[in-house]
């Protein structure tokens, strides 16, 4: 009853109608800022979703029937994309796709026996691959960042001059039997064999490595931790022992 009396007294003073202290004003301001941020994030997600095309085995035939395609490769062109600029390949099996139109970003999720030929510009120069197996990625346009996580038996083939920049990286975590080919060199990656270890709450599968070109050599190095941040070793001090010349 005492709390009810206080509540009624507060209402009688109009405290439920208007700001009556500097601390309350600050709380109201914070709430307004949070609401604006949530609205902006919601609009951002809506915009991203409007640009996204999700490709699955189920709708593959319907999509490919209206695009330039063949039994060997489905062409991802403007006709196929229908205005979309972000493509998510999800649960696609035994297919080959060739990208011939510019995209903002590409995702591959839970794909098997899958081949992707990147013959056009990726605006963000970013491709993400997760939970895939027996996958081949052929890159003929420069793509600065490829991320491969929790995947097995994947091969990434880079054409000449597509992977030699100082910022070009193939990041991987929890990947087994991963092969990266560039400039006549092949580096083989396996998170267990490469020495992944648990760091605090981070599991071995989350331990990250990076493949890149260092002084003309294709190398695979772990990411190192500096303070609370993880950074890629640009010029590793360790010896290169897992590069095979082909």
The residues pairing with 206 across neighbouring beta strands, listed in sequence order, are: none
Least-confidence region, from 3-12, 90-99, 101-110, 138-147: 3-12
Residue 217: pLDDT over 50: yes
Given this model, what pLDDT does residue 93 score? 95
Q: How far apart are CA 224 and CA 207, in angstroms?
A: 10
Q: How far apart are CA 166 and CA 174, in angstroms?
A: 24
Question: With contact defined as beta carbons under 8 Å apart, do 197 and 207 qualify?
Answer: yes
Residue 3: both structure tokens together: 């709390």
Least-confidence region, from 31-40, 65-74, 102-111, 148-157: 65-74
The answer to whether the pTM exceeds 0.85 is no
Which residues contact residue 217 at a Cβ distance below 8 angstroms, ignoring those fewer than 6 apart? 185, 240, 243
Given this model, what pLDDT does residue 139 score? 97
Residues 92-119 pLDDT 10s: 999 999 999 999 999 999 999 999 999 9
Q: Locate tokens 């695009």: which residue?
A: 67
Question: With contact defined as beta carbons under 8 Å apart, do 99 and 76 qualify?
Answer: yes
């Amino acid at each position: 009853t005492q709390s009810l009396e206080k509540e009624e007294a507060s209402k009688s003073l109009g405290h439920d109608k208007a700001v009556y202290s500097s601390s309350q004003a600050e709380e109201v301001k914070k709430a307004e800022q949070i609401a604006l941020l949530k609205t902006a994030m919601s609009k951002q997600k809506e915009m991203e979703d409007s640009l996204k095309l999700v490709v699955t085995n189920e709708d593959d035939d319907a999509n490919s029937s209206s695009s330039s395609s063949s039994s060997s490769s489905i062409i991802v062109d403007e006709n196929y994309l229908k205005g979309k600029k972000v493509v998510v390949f999800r649960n696609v099996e035994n297919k080959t796709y060739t990208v011939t139109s510019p995209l903002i970003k590409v995702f591959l999720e839970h794909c098997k026996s899958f081949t992707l030929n990147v013959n056009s510009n990726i605006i963000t120069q970013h491709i993400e691959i997760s939970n895939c197996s027996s996958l081949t990625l052929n890159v003929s346009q420069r793509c600065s960042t490829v991320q491969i996580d929790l995947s097995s038996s994947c091969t990434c083939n880079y054409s000449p001059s597509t992977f030699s920049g100082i910022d070009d990286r193939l990041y991987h975590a929890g990947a087994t039997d991963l092969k990266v080919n560039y400039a006549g060199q092949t580096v083989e990656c396996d998170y267990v064999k490469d020495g992944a270890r648990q760091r605090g709450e981070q599991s071995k599968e989350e331990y990250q490595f990076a493949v890149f070109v260092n002084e003309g050599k294709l190398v695979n190095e772990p990411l190192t931790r500096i303070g609370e941040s993880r950074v890629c070793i640009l010029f590793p001090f360790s010896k290169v022992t897992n590069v095979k010349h082909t």
